[in-house]
């Protein structure tokens, strides 16, 4: 068997991080090299997911974890605040960052891309690892060529920190690339309640709904003469992201530079 890919997980105590730990432990082609979380103490990583001892003790500091492991790839599902420093530390240690956490500025992306290229390694920032969501974005970009009037409504749980979601921003970028320049709506429109029309992006609006009980959904709504088109994707559980994370961990071993969007890793 070829060498296993050694994976470090940042945010290992979190809901996504635990799914990643489980996915890594269940794939014979992958090896858990390190797990990082600040709140759970130095427990064995297996205990985070109800599995037998792995010999990997959860570290509280990423730098310490990477310097004492031989990780090839870091998978990060932490917070928008922690994501950039984590990606930078990872590249500094020659460890390929696979970032599921969103909230990077274009400047930060360019910097990380430069750092990756200097080190000769690949990296990925993926607002969404779900294949269904990637298809939603592709279909939305195609529809925008023919129906350029569009609004995005995204739904997430009420504890989500960033708004709008990384997926909706990515969708908006793809729509902007494929539709003609257009500022929608009535130029004399007035918001009676501030924010009623949602966030403004390149001529159209993005609305963020935050409610308990919701996991992750997005609707892209197009309007034309006498018709509307809705493209909708619903995610029901975190395990649904793991085939995508698994593919990314393997693919990033053979790329160079930072890539934005999991769709670029799909054949
Ligand atoms: P969560 O359950 O709250 O877990 C967050 C993790 O981050 C915890 O392990 C937490 O552990 C750690 N953390 C918090 N603050 C930190 C800091 N300042 N430095 C380092 N680690 C920190 O959240 P989740 O639901 O797993 O989601 C995590 C992220 O993934 C969110 O940004 C979410 O939007 C994103 N997400 C992305 C996708 C995708 O497909 N790309 C899908 C779902 C979610 P400690 O406090 O113990 O350190």
What does the domain layout of the chain look like in residue ranges? Answer: 5-125+239-265, 131-236
pLDDT band at 2 (very low <50, low <70, confident <90, very high): confident
8, 9, 16, best to mutate for ligand 1 pocket (most atoms within 8 Å of CB): 16
For residue 161, the CA-to-ligand 1 centroid distance in Å is: 10
8, 9, 10, 11, best to mutate for ligand 1 pocket (most atoms within 8 Å of CB): 11
pLDDT band at 140 (very low <50, low <70, confident <90, very high): very high
Q: CA angle, corner 114, sides to 79 and 119, nearest 5?
A: 95
If you average pLDDT over residues 84-99, what whole number do you get? Answer: 98
Is the CB of 11 inside a 6 Å radius of any atom of ligand 1?
A: yes
Tokens of 177: 């690339």
Q: Tens of pLDDT along 22-79?
A: 999 999 999 999 999 999 899 999 999 999 999 999 999 999 999 999 999 999 999 9
Is the CB of 79 inside a 6 Å radius of any atom of ligand 1?
A: yes
| The pLDDT of residue 1 | 56
pLDDT band at 266 (very low <50, low <70, confident <90, very high): confident
| Helix pair 106-119, 80-92: axis angle to 10 deg | 20
What's the CATH code, domain 5-125+239-265?
A: 3.40.50.720
**pLDDT at residue 238 tops 80:** yes
Q: Options 3.30.465.10, 3.50.50.60, 3.30.360.10, 3.40.50.300; which CATH number does 131-236 get?
A: 3.30.360.10
| The pLDDT of residue 82 | 96
Q: Tens of pLDDT along 141-164?
A: 999 999 999 999 999 999 998 999
Catalytic residue among 117, 149, 160, 250: 160
Distance CA 218, CA 147 (A): 18
Counted residue by residue, the chain has a size of 267
Minimal CA–CA distance to 44: which of 59, 30, 29, 31? 59
Minimal CA–CA distance to 126: which of 33, 10, 260, 219? 260
233 is catalytic: no
119 is catalytic: no
Asked whether this chain's domains 5-125+239-265 and 131-236 adopt the same fold, the reply is: no
Which atom of ligand 1 is least distant from the CA of 126?
41
pTM for this model (two decimals): 0.86
For residue 77, the CA-to-ligand 1 centroid distance in Å is: 4
Distance CA 43, CA 59 (A): 9
Q: CA–CA distance from 119 to each of 92, 130, 135, 157 (Å)?
A: 8, 29, 32, 38
Distance CA 143, CA 126 (A): 22
């Amino acid at each position: 068997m070829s060498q296993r890919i050694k994976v470090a997980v940042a945010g290992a105590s979190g809901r996504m991080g635990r799914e990643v730990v489980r996915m890594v432990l269940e794939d014979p082609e992958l090896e858990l090299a390190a797990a990082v979380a600040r709140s759970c103490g130095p427990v064995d990583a297996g205990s985070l997911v109800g599995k037998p001892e792995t010999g990997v003790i959860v570290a509280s500091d990423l730098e310490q974890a990477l310097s004492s492991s031989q990780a090839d790839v870091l998978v990060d599902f932490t917070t928008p605040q922690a994501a950039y420093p984590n990606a930078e530390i990872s590249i500094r240690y020659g460890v390929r960052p696979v970032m599921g956490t969103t909230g990077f500025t274009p400047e930060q992306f360019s910097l990380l891309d430069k750092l990756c290229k200097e080190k000769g390694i690949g990296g990925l920032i993926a607002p969404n690892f779900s294949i269904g969501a990637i298809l939603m974005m592709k279909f939305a970009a195609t529809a925008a060529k023919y129906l350029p009037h569009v609004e995005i409504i995204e739904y997430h749980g009420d504890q989500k920190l960033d708004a709008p979601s990384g997926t909706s921003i990515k969708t908006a970028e793809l729509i902007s690339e494929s539709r003609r320049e257009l500022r929608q709506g009535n130029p004399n429109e007035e918001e009676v309640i501030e924010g009623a029309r949602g966030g403004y992006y390149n001529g159209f609006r993005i609305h963020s709904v935050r409610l308990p009980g919701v996991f992750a959904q997005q609707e892209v709504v197009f309007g034309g003469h006498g018709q509307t088109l809705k493209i909708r994707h619903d995610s029901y559980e975190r395990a649904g992201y793991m085939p995508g994370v698994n593919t990314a961990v393997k693919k990033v071993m053979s790329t160079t530079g930072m890539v934005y969007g999991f769709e670029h890793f799909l054949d």
